[in-house]
Structure formats: C-alpha cells, structure tokens
Chain A
C-alpha cells in the first residue's frame, strides 16, 4: 500500500562560505502538502532540495517517495533525477537560451499538450512573450517562465528554490496564488525554499526551519513562528521597518506581509531585543482601554 509520505533521513558534509558544515535532516512530509523550507542563506536549504531532486547525493541516509526508495546509501540506491518525476525550479531560472518562451515550456512535457502550454502562458502572463527568447526578458519574466516550465510536465514533486524573489509584490501575490492552486489542482507535493516569512505564512501548510544544517523546528507556520502562550485575536506578521522615539515611548513601524503599514506603540523595555529588520508578530490580546482627559 502507498504510504503517502516523503521520508528523509540524510547527512551530508558541505563546504559553505562560513566553513564546513554538516547538513542533517530527518523529517517526513505528507504527499500533497505544500511545504516551506525556511532559513537564512547558506544553511543547506538548496542542498536539501538538490538531494531530493537527485542532483546531489547525501553522504549517508535514505530518501523515499511513497513506497519508492530514491536514495539508500546502504543498498547503494540512487535513482537518477530523470526517473524521479519531479520538476526543479532553479534560483538562476536555468531557462534554455536557445529556445523561445513557448519552446521552453513545451520541452518540459513528456507528451505534447498544446492546450496546457497555452493555459500556462496565459496564467503566467506570458502569452505576448511566447515567441521571445529568454535574453530579451526581464528577471521577473524569466522567473515566470521557469515556474511555468516546472509545472508543464505535471510532476509528482515540485521543488522551488526561492521561486518568487525577483518579482514585485503584486506579481508575487498573484503567483503565490498560482502555486497554491497548482498544488491543489495537479495534486502535487510542493517544497518551496524561502526566506520570506510572508510567503511561508501565505503558502505553506508546513514549514521546516533549518539553521546551520540542522532542522530546528517544524510544523504549522503559526505554531513554529509564534509563541504558544499568545492567544491573540489579531495576529499579523511583518518586519520592523523603523523605530522612532516620541516623547517617552517609541513608535515602531511594521510592514506586514501584504505591505500594510502598522504603527505600534512600544516602551523601551519592549524593544530590548528588537531592531530594524527583525521579523515580528503584531497581535492584540485584549481590548485595550485608553484614558483621555475630558474637557
């Protein structure tokens, strides 16, 4: 019987900009889930994705997809990327320069399906550029081509390495919806590498946090990123953009995931561990009465 899980238990020695580091990941992923791998640059997120794709081999361990073993160091099994039925979207997009936008998408299909290509071109706003070669496209357009191409073969496992980093917020929102829709409609399992907290919250049902090669936390994004003691009615995640002193208090400007500007009053001791650029959650626990002098 199909067990419906991706099983990962691997170790790999890596050389990073900060010296040698060991990537150790033990986790399972439900098939059909949209999973985010979250962490700073150079902690092994991309390497984990490459191991799942079969582009890099772990030093030891095991990877299986459902009942199919993809990698097993003991039995010396390492299934080639071609046999894994995946798509991998690279950070540098890896669009083939010799092919037009349309040909790039067609190339990904095992059997030609013109209507699906047309649909992808439409959904990703590429119809008018379909005869263009990649060299004439902007970074954002290339990213959309790469995403459309990754979906074109209807893979079982979609691996996205920071897929939306080159897009403006409007296009990013739109494509986040498309990724979520494709995940549902095509019955894919999607693993998305991201260091954008908003993206993680919007898209992922499960997040795996990696720090220095180790999985530190995993679970639902709201459980992983917020303090469990918080039982607020309103929770908004965002990033601190500015801290201004006003009289005895501070006004903290937080930019939320959908680019809303929220101003929060804070006292000096609230800000002890906070600075500009920190990711925060803005929440309201209870109705907070404010005193005002009557005339």
Chain B
C-alpha cells in the first residue's frame, strides 16, 4: 500500500483519538461543573464553548495562529522556555482541534446531566456520598447514552476537520497532513483515484459512528419505557 496514504490515515487517526481522549478528560469535569454551577456568567461560558459550532473554522484557525505566533507573548514564551513552536506542528493542530471539538463533547454531556432529576444527586449527598463518588457511581452511569454520543461525535468531528487543520497546520506530509486535506490536495492535482480512497474511508467511518449513536439512543429509549 502507498506509504503516504497509510501515513496520512495514521495521522488522521492519531489526531482524532488524541483529541477525543483529551476532551474526555477535560469535558467530563467541565460538564459536571457547568451543570452544577449557579454563576451568573454561565450563559457567557456556554456561548464561548459553543462558538466553534457557529464560527467558520478559519476564524478559529486564524486566532490560533495569532496566539502561536512567536511575535506574540504566548508563542514567544513557549519558544523561549520550552523551545516549542506550535504553528505548523502536530501539537499545534491537536490543541486547535481540542478547542474546535469542545462543544461536541461538552454539550451532550451537559444535556445528559441536566436531564437527570436533581433528586438523584441530592439523594446521594444526603446518603453521605462525596461529589466525586456521586459523579462516578450515580450520575455518569445514568447518562451512558450521552457519553457514547459525546465520544462518537467528537471522534467523527475530529476526523472530518479541515479548515482549522489547514490554517494551523498547513499540509505537511507526516506531520499535519490529514485525510480531509489530502482529498483537497489530490483533487487539486487531478488525482481523483487517490481522493476517492480517502473519501470512501471518511464516509464509511462517519456512517458507522453515527449509526452507533442512533442505535444506542434507540435502545436506551425503549429501555426507559419498560
């Protein structure tokens, strides 16, 4: 098999898996906090989290590039202290991807937690259980469909990312070239057969993931009605 083809798929997979893993770690506590908080600025926080869903990816990509730039304090600080350059690197793309996919992880989890009756959490507290125990033993097991939806959506969204990766990472084979960019690149050079191979794989992966979400939710709905 074409080594560049497998390399591009490997980077795509690596980006999607890393993004999803990082977002599980960030998204779970964040969604719990968001469902629980009585802060007045909660609508603003919710809006910020949801921004990537409405903004063109190029806007996010642009701001990420500005932040990464050695000419600004964060970029130059990273360069001086850690000798790290984020622009046009896999790590830079990964950070941008985490921010860009944040709503796809947080929103389903947040909705799931909000749909649970308050009394479940309160009952656990009155039985002497801590917030952490309550989260892992009472809340999380009861929002399984939301967790599966969040993970599958985040993964599918990360695989299909185009604009942010192109802006932040460019098209560097072996570093930042992912399948969606490869398709664009191959079409530009009139190499339709290669573009087709990438396209079929992305199409099928997304179809399988979304079918999983819908079948899980359907199973949960019938289970609830019993």
Contacts and interface: CB of A to CB of B under 8 A. Distances in A.
Which of A55, A82, A93 has the largest count of B CB atoms less than 10 A from its CB?
A82
A96 B142 contact: yes
B141 A90 contact: no
A107 interface: yes
A26 interface: no
B220 to A, nearest CB: 11
Give chain B's interface residue range (CB within 8 Å of chain A): 10 to 19
Which of A53, A55, A86 has the largest count of B CB atoms less than 10 A from its CB?
A55
A90 B127 CA distance: 12
A98 B145 CA distance: 13
Contacts of A92: 117, 119
Interface string B215-226: 000000001101
Contacts, number: 58
Interface string A37-60: 000000000000000011100000
Interface string A69-100: 00000000000111011111010111011100
Interface in A193-241: none
Contact of B126 (A87, A93, A98, A107): A87
Interface string B117-143: 101101111111110000001100110
A153 interface: yes
Given A96-B142, A107-B137, A135-B224, A82 B122 contact: no
A87 B124 CA distance: 9
Interface in B198-226: 223-224, 226
A94 B119 contact: yes
17 contacts: A53-B126, A55-B125, A55-B126, A81-B125, A82-B126, A82-B129, A82-B130, A84-B126, A90-B123, A92-B119, A94-B117, A94-B119, A94-B123, A107-B137, A135-B224, A149-B127, A153-B128
Given A92-B117, A96-B123, A96-B124, 11 more contacts: A54-B125, A81-B126, A85-B128, A87-B126, A88-B122, A94-B123, A96-B138, A96-B142, A98-B141, A107-B137, A135-B226
